[in-house]
Amino acid sequence: MTIETVPFDAAKYLAEPEAQAVFLRDALETGDAGYIAHALGVIVRARGMSQVARDAGLSREALYRALSPTGNPRLSTLLGVTKALNIRLEASALPTTPNGAQ
C-alpha cells in the first residue's frame, strides 16, 4: 500500500492576525534571516500575496523574490510588508551577563 502525502502549507492555519504575530515573533527571536523571511512569506500567503504586494507598494513578483529562500529583503521592503500586514516590529534589550556577553 502506497502512502499518499500532500505538502504542508502553514498559511492555511494562520488565518488570525494574533497567530501570525506569534509566528513572526518566534522567527524574529531566532535571529535567523532565512526563517524570518520564510515566516513573512507564510503570513503574506495567508493574507493574500497580491493584496499585500499592492498595500506594500511592490509588485507581486518582487515580493515573491524578496521572501523566497534565496531572497534577501531590503529594510524598506520589510517595513512596507509589515505595515501592509498591520504588524508592528518592536525591540527590547536582551539580558546581559556581568561581563557584557549575551
CB burial of residue 58 (10 Å; 0-12, 13-18, 19+): buried
**Contacts of residue 84, Cβ cutoff 8 Å, sequence gap at least 6:** 52, 55, 56
Domain that holds residue 27: 10-84
In a domain, 98, yes or no: no
2-23 pLDDT, tens per residue? 999 999 999 999 999 999 999 9
Domain count for the chain = 1
Q: Is residue 67 part of a domain?
A: yes
**Res 101: pLDDT:** 62
pTM of the model: 0.83
Beta-carbon count within 10 A of 64 CB: 16
- pLDDT 10s digits, 36-51: 999 999 999 999 999 9
As a whole number of angstroms, the distance between CA 39 and CA 45 comes to: 10
Task: Identify whether 31 is part of a domain.
Answer: yes
